[in-house]
Amino acid sequence: DTEVTQTPKHLVMGMTNKKSLKCEQHMGHRAMYWYKQKAKKPPELMFVYSYEKLSINESVPSRFSPECPNSSLLNLHLHALQPEDSALYLCASSFGQISYEQYFGPGTRLTVT
């Protein structure tokens, strides 16, 4: 398996809901990433996990809560989001955090109503 998979593909949620995004890879990668991408804009890094430990948090609001239960799985828990949080959320992985290319998933299109 040489792909990063993300579920769901689309998600619509209200501002009071709690939902989770899921990312999975079986390439033996030990670094995993969450990015946020607004329309016609580049991806912006949110979090980096290295060997299942949070390595980088780009000052993301606490309504986004990442979790890395094991080396193959990365979750992003969402709670009390705002409409401006609507975006494409991309997951990526790499063999290591340093000097390795990142492989991207197809993304989850999130709409907050």
Partner 1 sequence: AQRVTQPEKLLSVFKGAPVELKCNYSYSGSPELFWYVQYSRQRLQLLLRHISRESIKGFTADLNKGETSFHLKKPFAQEEDSAMYYCALKENAGGTSYGKLTFGQGTILTVHP
Pick the binder of partner 1 from 16, 62, 70, 99 (CB under 8 A): 99
29 and 94 in contact (C-beta within 8 Å)?
Answer: yes
**Shortest Cβ 43–partner 1 spacing (Å):** 6
Pick the binder of partner 1 from 1, 69, 83, 101 (CB under 8 A): 101
Q: By CB under 8 A, tell whether 90 contacts partner 1.
A: yes
Contacts of 25 by beta carbon, 8 Å cutoff, 6+ apart: 1, 3, 4, 5, 32, 72, 93, 103
CA dist., res. 86 & res. 72, Å (int): 26
Q: By CB under 8 A, tell whether 31 contacts partner 1.
A: yes
Q: By CB under 8 A, tell whether 42 contacts partner 1.
A: yes
Which residues between 52 and 71 bind partner 1 (CB under 8 A)? 55-56, 58
52: which DSSP letter? Answer: T
Q: What is the dihedral of CA 76, 82, 83, 86, to 10 degrees?
A: -20
Residues that bind partner 1 (CB under 8 A): 31, 33, 40-45, 48, 50, 55-56, 58, 90, 97-99, 101-107
